[in-house]
Structure 1
């Protein structure tokens, strides 16, 4: 029995030590779990704080753009946002007279142009903001009120499509079939018979820049165009032809987005191609 007492005492001591280690291990692991929980919720808090800061910033911008009730009633196209204005202009103009260029700001004059170009009720085919955007070049107000580059790209594709279809649907043109110099016989099919019309006429021959420019001048688009020429005394040297072509295509692109390709194609056929044939 005497030999068993030390063993039992040692067993009791080791058991107590093991219990102490287990409790200390649990106590040391709980702060880590708490820290993990804290770090897990930190991104959500940061996200909420950042979103609240963004909301506050947007409210400040809106307040700066609308300092009074009269200003809040103005349409977006009619003024430059206050947050996009610099306290001074970094541009140094050699001739201050070239910085002066007046553009149209009368909605009635713009509507009259749309009626002449698109026909009756042409001024009602698009919202007010889109009507102004379609006639705004990126040189106007440094592009701070939007510009028509993307609308012009879409409208140009619609015009080329309609012109290509008109060439394909036309009767075989003289000189369209070119004889092969090696006397080879290509594959022939009724559906492919009029593809040779492209040998005699291409879309850019029908809707050339000169013709589109003249059409724009005839409907008065040059009087309502919003742009800033580099040389006010030399509009041709400032690229007025390219700007007018872009505005015409932008109007077609806006109609295509607003009413679909079918309506845009009809307007191209009736209001552009029919007028260019008469020129």
Structure 2
């Protein structure tokens, strides 16, 4: 009985396979030859693709998204409000150079190469980060600003304070090496160069108009994170200057172009 049932199952399977094989040409004929898309694994490239690559090589890197980094042409994110997807960023190099001149002074646009100038003002939300972004430059620049601000607090003479009278006529011990110990108790670097102060400085020099980013809510930029985005761009510019010209040049920029403008 077991052998008979096995043979019956085998014959039924063979019959079904022959039926499907015979129906395949009919389905292909009904769909038509042009409806069937053939997938190829060859590495050949069309003439149009070669011309497109050649044109992209002539353009600056900041102005386009590489073809191999583009997605399939659709997004898996469900957009609830379509109006929030509309946002335009600066693409004018002259406008960017004008901002660098206002921030760094005369010929400030010549301190950095073109690619680095655009990279320093590109947030990771712009173009899904496919053209590079300024996070690492900003981390380096933040450390430089914090160090220089701390040094500025330490070397600035402290305000004279009246010594409290001692009932026993004693005088506190004084030494030049201990004169700066208590300065950081009254002033902290984060209060001298706070996020709000740096954001206001960035707006004054026009950095908000050239920073490339994608706000979550274009109708409310502050709630979308405008302040930290401007801080990131400002720190990234300092970090890029340090890598390009050295720490001394970056510290001088922090002292003269940031701390002095903030009234420190």
User: What TM bracket, shorter-length normalisation?
Assistant: 0.7 to 0.9
Judging changes above 3 Å, is the alpha-carbon distance between structure 1 residues 187 and 159 closer, same or farther for their aligned structure 2 residues?
Answer: farther
Alignment correspondent of 2:59: 74
Q: Give the whole-Å Cα distance in 2 for the aligned partners of 1:233 and 1:214.
A: 19
Give the number of aligned pairs.
Answer: 214
Q: 1:167 corresponds to which residue? A: 153
Paired with 1:100 and 1:186, the residues of 2 have a C-alpha distance of 66
1:232 CA displacement:
0.4
Cα distance in structure 2, aligned partners of 1:153 and 1:91: 29
What is the 5 A alignment of 1:1-279? 67=52, 69-87=54-72, 88-173=74-159, 189-277=175-263
Structure 1 unaligned residues grouped into runs of 5+: 1-55, 179-184
Which structure has the bigger radius of gyration?
A: 1
Q: Report the Cα offset of residue 195 of structure 1.
A: 2.0
TM superposition shift of 1:186: 9.9
**Structure 2: gaps (5+ residues):** 1-41, 165-170
Cα displacement string for residues 214-234 of structure 1 (whole angstroms, at most 9, x for unaligned residues): 000000000001000000001
Q: 1:272 to 1:230 in 2, by over 3 A?
A: same
Shift of 1:66: 6.1
After superposition, the Cα gap between the structure-2 partners of 1:237 and 1:166, relative to the gap in structure 1 and judged at 3 Å, is same
Shift in CA distance, 238/186, structure 1 to aligned 2, threshold 3 Å: farther
* Distance in 2 separating the partners of 1:66 and 1:269: 49
By percentage of residues, which structure has more helix? 1
Question: Which string of whole-angstrom CA distances, capped at 9 and with x for unpartnered residues, describes residues 29-59 of structure 1?
Answer: xxxxxxxxxxxxxxxxxxxxxxxxxxx98x9
TM-score between the two structures when normalised by the length of structure 2: 0.75
Measure, in 2, the Cα distance between the counterparts of 1:66 and 1:154: 39
- Choose between structure 1 and 2 for higher RCO, CA contacts under 8 A separated by at least 6 residues: 2
CA RMSD of aligned residues (A): 2.7
| Preserved CA contact (<8 Å) 1:173 1:200 | no
Structure 1 residues 190 and 249, CA gap change in structure 2 (3 angstroms): same
Residue 251 of structure 1 deviates from its aligned partner by 0.3
Shift of the alpha carbon at 1:190? 1.5
